[in-house]
Amino acid sequence: MVLMMAGVAALAMAASFPVAAQQAPTGAPGIPGVPSPIGDTSAIAKEAQGWLADLIKINTTNPPGNEQVAAMYIVGILAKEGIKAEMLDLTPGRSAVVARLRSAAMADPSKALLLVAHMDVVGVEKAKWTVDPFAAVQKDGYLYGRGAIDDKGMLAANLAAFIALKRANPRLNRDVIFLATADEEQFGDASIKILIAKYWNKFAAGFALNEGGQVLLKNGKVQYVAVQASEKVPVNVAVVARGTTGHASIPTKDNAVVHLAAALVKIGSYSAPAHFTTIVRRYFEQLAAIEDDEIGKWMRSLDTTDRGEHAQKVLSDANPMWNSMMRDSIAPTMLTAGVRANVIPGEARANLNIRLLPGDTIDVLLAELTKLVNDPQVRFEIQPDAGLAAPPSSLENDFYATITRVAGREFSNVPVLPFQSTGATDSAQLRLHNVQSYGFLPFPLTDDDVRRMHGNDERIPLASFAKGVDVLARVIAEFVVAR
Ligand SMILES: [Zn+2]
């Protein structure tokens, strides 16, 4: 009876995740409705909160990253648990960390599960923060700091789930690999691409969990869980206008600045044609069920011949992310021209940050833009840092089914949607190596909290962190514990 009551209370608590609970957790959010194969996680979640605070205090702003200091810290945590971790050196001061829980002496790498998170963070505008971004300040139920959400929260949660599994010591049906990566934010010479090239056999796996998803918290309740299974492909393109240089007192019609500006106005009002990848189609189909009637109706009309075009417009106007999910997007981000106030420059340049739908090619888009700009003084130069399109992760395998089942259940039967992120993650590189990689950031976060990622006053609600640790550990355990 007591047990039953506890179960009912847990369900009632899970059903609403009140705003107040984000401020001060009123009980262990990890109280199981369904017993977890690795037991109660509330104690380890508390420990992991300490690791997260320590990791925030280790400044890994990239550049330069200096991830080696964080890597050594993680090696130390794992060593205390009797887990031998290995540092994978990349460049001076920059290393990744790998550790493994073995299921057998010679386990099949294609079955292994990889838990990935990056150790580096983006820079801060310190003057605009209300707290020290590297002091891990605890305030009003939140832990503040650069990396709290992106991605040290996931790093600490992965560590917690991995250690919980080691402590529970169940029989595993596959190897579980912990991997902390470097240089995710700059994708330079210490990135996962280089890591894979140098050390693939240390962490080869068939499945991976990474950042990139979302558990959306709104009005104190989880609305849905989005699991990233695909991502858009970043490509930078320079727009270069050339003209005659000369004395500014004698203006000419071929001024490069004017031609660049005219080209950008046209590009800025251009919208690439919409089309739908399997993942985006599934996302809208499932989201339609929980959106209000009006928006839901348009989501269901997206693919129809008579109303599709209007539906695309309504949804694109309603939400800029939806707009970017259905087409190649172009954002002008940088401008350069001129050397002196009184000199007409011979060249003016802009950078376009383009995000292609996977499967689209930059040449097709640039052919369109060339026609649109229609100016022989303007040309496009594709920059060498373009991402590579990766095939989407499958929505039909056991692992995706496990994530969907467990996350849905643990967040009170909310829908779990497949998601194609507009931003890029380490998962693209993994997918290119046949890893079924999924973005599952397990912490319930409001839109306001998500917007602080890469912004000021980044923070994670402590109750969400504890809940996220619990759900993540359950997802992993239900997939890797042998029955
Ligand atoms: Zn990140």
Q: Cis (ω within 30 of 0) for the bond into 151? A: yes
pLDDT mean over 243-248: 97
Alpha carbon of 232 to ligand 1 centroid (Å): 15
Q: pTM, whole model, 2 decimals?
A: 0.88
Distance 483 CA to ligand 1 centre (A): 34
Query: What's the CA-to-centroid distance between 118 and ligand 1, angstroms?
Result: 7
Give, in order, the Cα–Cα distances in Å from 180 to each of 53, 73, 93, 207, 313: 16, 11, 15, 16, 41
pLDDT at 37 over 50: yes
CA of 185 to the centre of ligand 1 (A): 7
> For residue 463, is pLDDT > 70?
yes
What pLDDT is stored for residue 232 in this prediction?
97
Q: How far is the CA of 202 from the centre of ligand 1 (A)?
A: 22
Which pLDDT tens digit goes with each residue over 74-130? 999 999 999 999 999 999 999 999 999 999 999 999 999 999 999 999 999 999 999
Ligand 1 centroid from CA 64, angstroms:
16
Ligand 1 centroid – CA 425 distance (Å): 7
Given this model, what pLDDT does residue 20 score? Answer: 39
Residue 157 alpha carbon to ligand 1 centre in Å = 14
First to last CA, the chain: 28
Q: In 3D, which of 90, 96, 94 has the Cα closest to residue 66?
A: 94
Residue 121 DSSP symbol:
B
Q: Residue 470: pLDDT above 50?
A: yes
| Distance of CA 127 from the midpoint of ligand 1 (Å) | 23
Mean pLDDT of the chain: 92
Query: Please, which residues bridge with residue 335 across strands?
Result: 350
Distance 155 CA to ligand 1 centre (A): 10
Q: How far is the CA of 184 from the centre of ligand 1 (A)?
A: 7
Tell me, in angstroms, the distance from the centre of ligand 1 to residue 151's CA.
5
Q: How far does residue 342's CA lie from ligand 1's centre (Å)?
A: 44
Q: Is 149 a residue whose pLDDT tops 60?
A: yes
Count of H-run helices and E-run strands, the chain: 16, 19
CA 336 – ligand 1 centroid, Å: 29
How many whole angstroms from 221 Cα to the centroid of ligand 1? 24
Residue 210 Cα to ligand 1 middle (Å): 9
Instruction: Answer whether residue 7 shows pLDDT above 80.
Output: no
CA pair distance 411, 442, nearest whole angstrom: 10
CA of 117 to the centre of ligand 1 (A): 8
150 CA to middle of ligand 1, Å? 5
Burial class (CB in 10 A: 0-12, 13-18, 19+), 409: middle
Q: Smallest Cα–Cα separation from 137: which of 448, 468, 462, 467?
A: 462
Give tens-digit pLDDT for 164-220: 999 999 999 999 999 999 999 999 999 999 999 999 999 999 999 999 999 999 999
Residue 174 phi/psi, 5-degree rounding, is -165, 160
286-316: pLDDT as tens digits: 999 999 999 999 999 998 899 999 999 999 9
Give the residue-averaged pLDDT of 140-145.
Answer: 98
Distance (angstroms) between ligand 1 centre and the Cα of 246 equals 46
